[in-house]
């Protein structure tokens, strides 16, 4: 019977995090970005080309990806900002990533969180990871609207439909709300959305069946940053066709 990760991490967050870090070093099994190795390679390719000042995450959950972002940000003196709406998960994330010196955690919804960060994001270079959706909540359009004028920003959206490969899992809440190109078509040109160029089966670390691995997309909000994404072989531009 699978162990509930929230319950297990809640017992001893620091110990669980240390164990996952050790497992990643010894076995290559990752504990961040859903454990998807090619997605991490995409992030690392972006990060090596773009001097981010801030790493922003909506939906910290248990703080595992937050921890990875903090460790990535530390050598360049960058900061990590994350939020979590669920009180139980927020309490856990505070005891994992929240203790790191370059991390600022916010308990609340992602829209208010991003609105409060706008003054410092608007003139900085930012990586933003949108993952605050779930349990019927989908603040994606509001999040993207807030970030629209942050031109030096790259956005990665979790649980996004990859039209070319239905084996990537994605979130659909009802007939009107789904995390896909159609849902954001009036906000972002489909040609400016980058999707995985590889099949879901290449995410060997997490390939367990229909719902895994999770799809994602990457959106660059300036022509210069779009050229960065164009140069990454693991990505391709999207299309509504």
- For residue 241, the model assigns a pLDDT of 64
- For residue 100, the model assigns a pLDDT of 94
Q: Average pLDDT, stretch 70-93?
A: 97
- For residue 210, the model assigns a pLDDT of 45
- For residue 204, the model assigns a pLDDT of 62
Rounded to whole angstroms, what are the CA distances from 101 to 21, 52, 191? Answer: 18, 17, 38
- For residue 162, the model assigns a pLDDT of 97
Q: Which position has the token pair 């629209």?
A: 148
Q: Average pLDDT, stretch 141-169?
A: 96
3-state secondary structure of 156: strand
- Closest-CA residue to 60 (of 26, 116, 9): 9
CATH: 1.10.260.40, 3.20.20.140, 3.30.9.100, 3.40.50.150. Which one for 5-237? Answer: 3.40.50.150
- Closest-CA residue to 39 (of 224, 218, 170): 218
pTM for this predicted structure: 0.94
Q: Average pLDDT, stretch 58-86?
A: 97
Residue 127, CA atoms < 13 Å, CB-side half-sphere:
24
């Amino acid at each position: 019977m699978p162990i509930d990760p929230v319950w297990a991490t809640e017992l001893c967050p620091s110990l669980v995090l240390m164990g996952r870090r050790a497992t990643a070093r010894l076995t290559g099994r990752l504990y961040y970005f859903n454990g998807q190795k090619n997605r991490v390679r995409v992030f690392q390719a972006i990060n090596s080309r773009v001097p981010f000042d801030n790493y922003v995450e909506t939906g910290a959950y248990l703080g595992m990806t937050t921890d990875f972002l903090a460790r990535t940000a530390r050598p360049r003196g960058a900061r990590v900002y994350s939020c979590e709406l669920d009180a139980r998960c927020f309490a856990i994330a505070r005891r994992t990533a929240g203790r790191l010196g370059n991390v600022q955690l916010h308990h609340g919804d992602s829209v208010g969180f991003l609105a409060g960060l706008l003054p410092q994001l608007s003139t900085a270079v930012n990586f933003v990871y949108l993952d605050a959706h779930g349990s019927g909540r989908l603040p994606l359009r509001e999040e993207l609207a807030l970030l629209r004028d942050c031109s030096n920003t790259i956005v990665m959206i979790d649980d996004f439909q990859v039209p070319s490969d239905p084996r990537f899992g994605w979130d659909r809440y009802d007939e009107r709300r789904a995390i896909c190109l159609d849902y954001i078509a009036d906000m972002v040109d489909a040609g400016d959305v980058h999707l995985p160029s590889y099949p879901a089966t290449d995410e060997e670390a997490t390939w367990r069946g229909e719902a895994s691995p999770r799809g994602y997309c990457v959106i660059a909000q300036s022509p210069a940053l779009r050229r960065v994404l164009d140069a990454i072989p693991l990505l391709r531009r999207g299309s509504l066709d």
